[in-house]
């Protein structure tokens, strides 16, 4: 049985949970998420999958 997990949806899920628990973190979570997605896009790691 293979389970393929994409990085983007996992980060989004974690960010959503953190925003619900601590709403004051919203600005930091959005900023970090955008930086990570930008870096992955720049360095061609957009298709990073965990196995």
- Please, are residues 37 and 48 in contact by the beta-carbon 8 Å criterion? no
Query: pLDDT at position 15, please?
Result: 78
| Three-state SS annotation for 3-35 | CCEEHHHHHHHHHHHHHHHCHHHHHHHHHHHHH
Query: pLDDT at position 41, please?
Result: 81
Q: What is the pLDDT of residues 3-51, one digit of tens each?
A: 666 777 887 788 788 888 888 888 888 888 788 888 888 887 655 555 5
């Amino acid at each position: 049985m293979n389970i393929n997990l994409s990085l983007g949806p996992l980060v989004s899920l974690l960010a959503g949970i953190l925003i619900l628990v601590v709403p004051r973190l919203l600005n930091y979570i959005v900023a970090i998420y955008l930086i990570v997605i930008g870096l992955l896009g720049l360095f061609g790691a957009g298709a990073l999958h965990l196995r």
